[in-house]
Chain A
């Protein structure tokens, strides 16, 4: 392959592709960005004063974080795939008073509250027998702690139709009436049945495992001030039915509602932000605030004053429905990341109608806290609790290799027929 990659021909092909991107995508974005530039620079982008390193907070608080990892091919048994999922919850304490900044709470306390950490889940389904939906529903129902499906779906409708729907019975006489039977079973909440490929199933279970861990934190006595999850607060909708196309969408809104109720700030941090022209926003921030500045930039939605930005006008999930995203950077060495907040919480706690200055002050206070929790030298600029959760849940190649060995051992113990656990391609040394 190298003899192809290292040729002038390959370089020419790449040049054509990049020129194409520049001509089509960048030019369009550039035009759109020009329309937003002044607004971003003057009203959406801002810096803040970071906490002094030796600050002693009047009230130290806890920050929880969840991350998950997994494989959709722990074992392949003909048409059956066995999935392995690992989910880890980490809780750190600001601990400014004992000068032991952001130290994780001890494992024993954590496991007493949340069970074994990291937590492992197993799932299986056949790709061809049409059991994907029922098996997925079974696994999700098993994993997610809230078992009453009506209670699970209601928070979405309450947030999506505020003032209109406040109980399940309110769904009657609405556009959702005809879907009520579908909203009573986990299986029927899975509307993307036709697209239940292995990766989709895996992603859904992984997301739900993380949401389940988050819910356990919210219902425990840990009482964090922040609860961080990896990714975005996106709810993918069924365009016809106008409610989440997968159970995880309902679960996310359930979490948001519970977090608000428990006075916990729920946010999702995403390194892969998918925000167009983010590098230009970052450049603008450097230009305005200097190279060393720590900054954030609100990415408004259509409902916000002045409406959404032109650069993501045609991006369906930017900003995500019922969420408020920000682009931010706490480290000059890294590219900007994105953080999403629950829009309902944001409207209640950050946004001050008719007072942009008060809104900005709230935003600055929020990002000062987020930045303070993102100074660990190992992952400078990224929230330490989330980084620790990532390290804790990560399934390395070696872990997976051992897990596969254990699979074969267990099958031997059970007297089942011997099967190889490696990928099928390994048989051919591919």
Chain B
């Protein structure tokens, strides 16, 4: 069956030279930009294929002119010179990367392949036209763009096609990286992602029989802008739009965690919880994950944890210098105390009171989002909070994974988790994890059937650097084993080059926004899950909100325009109203 080539877009040019990696295209003198995607129709040997080509360089080409400089010089020097009928000879020579090709398999379904073939001689090149090519491109690239979590639309140069680019939920536990310099659009992307997670959960709730997965996200908001929004709307706008039933199902009673509830605006305050973590919920490895400790210090801490258990922090902080165990020096005690002193000053780490960790656990196991305002926290507080949450959630699921029934789970949980916390949450955990009831004998559920949990690691280089990752970092385990427990990291960073190789090698999806300098561009290209060599020029000219999405499970590096949160919200806000709820009619007397 022959393809309807008109659906590909506007006939632009012909393939000139090249190989299966790079191509040279001779095309019309149009306003083309670096980054544009073209489609090449090929029918070599009767095999219909549509190759995708990405422009990485442009050059003006005057047909029949060998020396452009001489012509330019003549036009300059001889003021009366013209170029007769030159319009038709003015061409653009495009150089770029072959991205791969789409072809139909035996079942008649579109598949996408890495570049391993070449388009036919002088094959026709088509320029996608928004409004004409969208449907066909969507169909051809379905295997490259489909998923549940929408991040943006396929960008073809400076325009976008109506081809949504999504990340499949099943790949989120294999970790996602968001890389971009200041002003590249990371905050907007995070808001779009949160909205998309809400939409995914809403869809799952509204279609209970479709067995759609749910998604939880622990989203660090370092500038406190997600809830209120950057411009007009924020996550709170979505929450406000929901009917109370929908809100209960999707958001629950709270979604906003902050250090000081009283400082929160009134509308958000109703959905706010204060972040408080008990000392007893902190484990030594949480601290080792965020800061370097000498062998003496960690040995001392470990011994105190062994002897004092949950009270190890109090035990160290209150330890008198004359009562230290013989093998520990006074200097070590002082150094450890100094390092723990930030806990004493912190409003969120408390010796006694009510912890938020239970609520975080409940929210994450029920497919919800939490926006965590860390704008008033110190870096150490933020990192420790992220670490405790990540470790707690992963230890809970690890206990589950190691158990055959709920009785085993409780035993495993007690071994791995702080007893105070575990005892508080175990009843609810039974409800989440029991396959058929909460009895000890009840078989446990496979963690992969539970909601996918996405934990944001902001300013990632501080804790995901090679030095900390060499030690007993919580994140080392998560990066390697997260997929077993359906827990993934959402690593947000301005730099790629300083991240540890373990985390980079385990990361299967990268959303690469505009980067700050050549070193980061190089690092980003080297660490991408698919080969994007040659994209250097494009990184240099990327605008705010533009991204190149690479994923190990996709052959095609996808150029994506991330829409403004306000735009997608306005487009979708009608979806948050409960379909069944009717607007109250006014009674007219």
Partner of A375, one of B64, B78, B85, B87: B78
Shortest CB-to-CB span from A104 to chain B, Å, is 4
Partner of A377, one of B64, B74, B87: B74
Q: Which residues of B contact A380 (CB under 8 A)?
A: 74, 78, 81
Q: Digit string of B22-36 for contact with A (CB within 8 Å is 1, else 0)? A: 000000000000000
B585 located at the interface, meaning its Cβ lies under 8 Å from any Cβ of chain A in the complex: no
Residue of B nearest to A292 (CB): B78
| Contact between B85 and A377, CB atoms less than 8 A apart | no
A384 located at the interface, meaning its Cβ lies under 8 Å from any Cβ of chain B in the complex: yes
Q: Which residues of A contact B81 (CB under 8 A)?
A: 375-377, 380
| Contact between B71 and A377, CB atoms less than 8 A apart | yes
Partner of B80, one of A53, A102, A104: A53
A180 located at the interface, meaning its Cβ lies under 8 Å from any Cβ of chain B in the complex: no
B308 located at the interface, meaning its Cβ lies under 8 Å from any Cβ of chain A in the complex: no
Q: Which residues of A contact B84 (CB under 8 A)?
A: 92, 101-104, 376, 384, 388
A53–B79 Cα distance when bound, in Å, is: 8
Q: Given A377-B71, A378-B65, verify A104-B78 contact (CB < 8 Å).
A: no
B83 located at the interface, meaning its Cβ lies under 8 Å from any Cβ of chain A in the complex: yes
Residue of A nearest to B76 (CB): A377
A248 located at the interface, meaning its Cβ lies under 8 Å from any Cβ of chain B in the complex: no
Shortest CB-to-CB span from B485 to chain A, Å, is 64
B75 located at the interface, meaning its Cβ lies under 8 Å from any Cβ of chain A in the complex: yes
| Contact between B64 and A376, CB atoms less than 8 A apart | no
Q: Which residues of B contact A104 (CB under 8 A)?
A: 84-85
A391 located at the interface, meaning its Cβ lies under 8 Å from any Cβ of chain B in the complex: yes
Shortest CB-to-CB span from B74 to chain A, Å, is 4
Shortest CB-to-CB span from A57 to chain B, Å, is 14
Partner of B82, one of A52, A375, A388, A391: A375
Q: List which A372-428 residues lie within 8 A (CB) of chain B.
A: 375-378, 380, 384, 388, 391
A67–B85 Cα distance when bound, in Å, is: 18
| Contact between B79 and A376, CB atoms less than 8 A apart | no
Q: Which residues of B contact A51 (CB under 8 A)?
A: 80
Q: Which residues of A contact B80 (CB under 8 A)?
A: 50-53, 375
Residue of A nearest to B84 (CB): A102
Residue of A nearest to B79 (CB): A53
Q: Digit string of B82-107 for contact with A (CB within 8 Å is 1, else 0)? A: 11110100000000000000000000
Residue of B nearest to A374 (CB): B81
Partner of B85, one of A53, A92, A331: A92
Q: Digit string of A344-378 for contact with B (CB within 8 Å is 1, else 0)? A: 00000000000000000000000000000001111
Residue of B nearest to A392 (CB): B64
| Contact between A378 and B71, CB atoms less than 8 A apart | yes
A377–B84 Cα distance when bound, in Å, is: 9
Q: Which residues of B contact A53 (CB under 8 A)?
A: 79-80, 82
Q: Which residues of B contact A103 (CB under 8 A)?
A: 84-85, 87
Interface residues of A (CB under 8 A from B): 50-53, 92, 100-104, 331, 375-378, 380, 384, 388, 391
> 15 new A-B pairs (CB below 8 Å) besides A52-B80, A388-B85?
A53-B82, A100-B85, A102-B82, A103-B84, A104-B84, A104-B85, A331-B78, A376-B84, A377-B71, A377-B75, A377-B78, A377-B81, A377-B83, A378-B83, A380-B81
11 of the cross-chain contacts (CB-CB < 8 Å) are: A52-B80, A53-B79, A100-B85, A102-B85, A375-B81, A376-B83, A377-B71, A377-B78, A378-B65, A378-B74, A380-B81
